[in-house]
Structure 1
Amino acid sequence: MQTEILPEFMRTPEGREADAILRSCVHCGFCTATCPTYQLLGDELDGPRGRIYQIKLVLEGQTPTRVTQQHLDRCLTCRACETTCPSGVRYARLAEIGRHLVEERVERPFVERLLRKALIGIVPYPTRFGPLMRLARLVAPLLPATLKAKVTTPRPPGDWPAPTGRRRVLALAGCVQSVSTPLTNAAAARILSRLGIDLRVTPEAGCCGAAAYHLSDREAGLAAMRRNIDAWWPEIESGCEAILIAASGCGAMVKEYGEALAHDPDYAAKAARVAALARDPAEILGREDLSALGAPGQGRRVAFHSPCTLQHGQQLKQVVEPILMRLGFTMTSVPDGHLCCGSAGTYSITQPALSEQLRRNKIAALESETPEVIATANIGCQLHLEAGTTTPVVHWLELLDRPEAESA
């Protein structure tokens, strides 16, 4: 694609990066076939090709409008287009650059500004989000149905195994996950303990930074990244072999720390090291001898929802399913498994109508072969799907952390 980027943008690293991404796009349109919002709305401007063109116009000097902003807002950043693209266009990175430019030039309505500030100021902080969730559970019967569906009742996490000085892996506690599903990391700790690996959490580490970063408050997002790097660095220097991130959305973000902080002279090298150590649980368990876990599946029928951040963001496809099958689970078929469930971080809050449509479609696909349970690999998808079905929805690690495994 030919470009005429304004000199003021070409003088910046991001402007030059955007220009290179735009030039790699041949405008073939293959991406539209796998774009969830294009499939729902049928509007070229609500597909990757159309959004790329709108960002190009802004970089070339066209004044963005509220309409431009809305088309970019509707993008889930699911990155299915990147998986499909034959030219390797880094659409998600271009979308981040474009959204930031538009955010600087188009003022949002007051209600939207307030909502985004609330999300950035509350969600990444368990000490703020936790009390609000507990309050919501108390008044749940009084809440509107849409809000009530988002109120979770966490299951007890159980014991966290004491470290024994064996192989050592760090864990990201996370923000929403640590409040809503503390069982996930505790299950990971028990599973890894049985495989001879200690899982540790550094209390100083918190939100991965994605919530603020993807809502165009990049400085808050970068600050969260630096805080996590500082918290993890002593453990990394002392021999930690990996950073396990059970939420695939957070995993995708941490694996991009090196890119996000590439121009920070104090953190660039450390960020690259952290990104290289980041692992999804499937990347760790897939290489281990799992015989110590027994056969917890016992033929149990499972539909696995592969989050976009796992299969498209991290490009980890068909990594969880083989592990579950090794452990005796029967995997059911999921049509259109590449499509987004509509959670997409805060998307279910900022774009509720589109999110609800996508969830209905995804649940229909997941339940098409009547599984006993739906498993996923991301806290956002888990909570979003759980609110729309009576079929149990769990993080796939919970399936491995079962009493049957102890006696197998």
Structure 2
Amino acid sequence: MQTTLSEEARRLPRAEEADSILRTCVHCGFCNATCPTYQLLGDELDGPRGRIYLIKQVLEGNEVTQKTQLHLDRCLSCRNCETTCPSGVDYHNLLDIGRAVVDAAVPRPLGQRLLREGLRKVVPHPDLFKGLVNSGQVFRALLPDALQSKLPRSVAPGKPRPTTRHARQVLMLEGCVQPGLSPNTNAAAARVLDRLGISVTPCREAGCCGAVDYHLDAQAAGLDRARHNIDAWWPMIEQGAEAIVQTASGCGAFIKDYGHLLGNDPAYADKARTVSALAKDLVEVLRAEPLEKLGIHNARRVAFHCPCTLQHAQKLGGAVEALLERLGFNLTYVPDGHLCCGSAGTYSLTQPELSRQLRDNKMNALESGYPEVIVTANIGCQSHLDGAGRTPVRHWIELVEDALP
């Protein structure tokens, strides 16, 4: 694709990157075949190829409108198109660049601004978010259905974690919403790792990974959170922590991007690359271990929802499925497993109608094999799918921990 960036666009910090990505696209349209929003809406501008054209027009100096912003907002950032693309177009980074330019040029309506700023004030703060979830549970019957569906049907309290006692040690990102929505997930991961001779070293100073701010019109704030986490983890990295484990694949995908996003920061570039290299989804750690030591033989009928951030961003599609089958679980077939469930971070709140359609389609696919339970690897997907009030949805590590003798 030929490009002629405007003088203003050429002054952007990531202008060269944007130009390079645009030139990679051969506008073949294969991406539209696997784009969830294009499949729902049938609009070229609601598919990756159309959005690439919109961003190209913006960077070449054409008028930026609310319509442009709407089509970019509707993108789930699921990165399914990147898996499909034969040319290797780095779509998600181009989208981030384009969104930043458009959001700077087009003021949002008051309602959208309040929603986005409200989410940024609440979601990245675990204690505040957990307090609101607990209050919501108390007053659940008084809440409208739309809010009730965002609350977990039940919250299993986090069981005690093992003490740090093994020579092998890893760090673990606690996350923002997971402590409030599913507090036992990280505890279950710590207990399974402990059985395998790996201790989780606490690091309470680390906070939100930064993805919420970064994808809600506040990229600078998101990168500041990344720097904060790097500072929090660095002393323990220097002491020999072998990995930074995430049980939420959405957080993991963003942390693995720290090295790229902070690549031009002279104070953090090297450390960010080290952190990204150490970042591991839980399945990456467990699949390399002698799982037979766990003594699990479980034939429970399970459907696995592979989050987009696991299969398309981290390229770990099939990893959890292989691990669960290795432990004896009976996995059902899930048609269209590559498609997004509609959670996509805060997308279920900023684009509720599209999100709900995608969720219902995904639940139909997951339930087609009549599983006893659905499991996933990302708290956003877990909460969103379970909000349908159908087959229970849990994190896969909790099933593994439940099956320990």
Question: Are the equivalent residues in 1 in contact too, given 2:386–2:393 (CA < 8 A)?
Answer: yes
User: 1:18 — aligned with what?
Assistant: 18
The amino acid that maps onto 1:83 is T
Question: Are the equivalent residues in 2 in contact too, given 1:9–1:16 (CA < 8 A)?
Answer: no
Question: Are the equivalent residues in 2 in contact too, given 1:301–1:331 (CA < 8 A)?
Answer: yes
SS in 2 for 1:249: helix
The amino acid that maps onto 1:68 is T
User: 1:388 — aligned with what?
Assistant: 388
User: 1:92 — aligned with what?
Assistant: 92
Query: How many pairs align?
Result: 404
The amino acid that maps onto 1:78 is C
User: 1:201 — aligned with what?
Assistant: 202
User: 2:307 — aligned with what?
Assistant: 307
User: 2:404 — aligned with what?
Assistant: 405
Question: Are the equivalent residues in 1 in contact too, given 2:159–2:187 (CA < 8 A)?
Answer: yes
Instruction: Pick which of 215-224 and 245-254 moved more.
Output: 215-224
User: 2:244 — aligned with what?
Assistant: 243
The amino acid that maps onto 2:307 is P
Deviation at 1:81, TM superposition (A): 0.1
CA distance in 1, matches of 2:295, 2:339: 33
Question: Are the equivalent residues in 1 in contact too, given 2:33–2:39 (CA < 8 A)?
Answer: yes
Matches within 5 A, 1:323-342: 323-342=323-342
CA distance in 2, matches of 1:12, 1:340: 31
User: 1:184 — aligned with what?
Assistant: 185
User: 1:29 — aligned with what?
Assistant: 29
CA distance in 1, matches of 2:297, 2:98: 47
Deviation at 1:296, TM superposition (A): 4.5
- State percent identity of aligned pairs: 59
User: 1:75 — aligned with what?
Assistant: 75
CA distance in 2, matches of 1:109, 1:388: 29
SS in 2 for 1:16: helix
The amino acid that maps onto 2:404 is A
CA distance in 2, matches of 1:138, 1:71: 38
Deviation at 1:137, TM superposition (A): 1.1
Instruction: Pick which of 111-120 and 153-162 moved more.
Output: 153-162
CA distance in 2, matches of 1:72, 1:12: 19
Deviations 1:277-336 (A, max 9, x none): 000011111111001211242x11110000000000111110001110111101100000
Deviation at 1:363, TM superposition (A): 0.1
The amino acid that maps onto 2:329 is F
Show structure 2 runs of 5+ residues with no match.
Answer: none
CA distance in 1, matches of 2:118, 2:306: 29
User: 1:349 — aligned with what?
Assistant: 349
The amino acid that maps onto 1:310 is L
Question: Are the equivalent residues in 1 in contact too, given 2:378–2:395 (CA < 8 A)?
Answer: yes
CA distance in 1, matches of 2:77, 2:94: 11
Matched, 1:268 2:256: no
SS in 2 for 1:168: strand
Question: Are the equivalent residues in 2 in contact too, given 1:296–1:400 (CA < 8 A)?
Answer: no
SS in 2 for 1:405: coil
CA distance in 1, matches of 2:169, 2:191: 13
Question: Are the equivalent residues in 1 in contact too, given 2:78–2:344 (CA < 8 A)?
Answer: yes
* RMSD value, Cα: 0.9
Question: Are the equivalent residues in 1 in contact too, given 2:166–2:197 (CA < 8 A)?
Answer: no
CA distance in 1, matches of 2:345, 2:11: 32
CA distance in 2, matches of 1:368, 1:62: 47
Deviations 1:319-362 (A, max 9, x none): 00111011110110000000000000000000000000000000
User: 2:227 — aligned with what?
Assistant: 226
Deviations 1:228-262 (A, max 9, x none): 10110000000000000000000000000011111
TM-score of the aligned structures, taking structure 1 as reference length: 0.98
Deviation at 1:11, TM superposition (A): 3.3
The amino acid that maps onto 1:129 is F
Matched, 1:59 2:59: yes
Question: Are the equivalent residues in 2 in contact too, given 1:171–1:200 (CA < 8 A)?
Answer: yes
Deviation at 1:13, TM superposition (A): 3.5
SS in 1 for 2:404: helix
CA distance in 2, matches of 1:359, 1:204: 34
Matched, 1:256 2:263: no
Show structure 1 runs of 5+ residues with no match.
Answer: none
User: 1:142 — aligned with what?
Assistant: 142
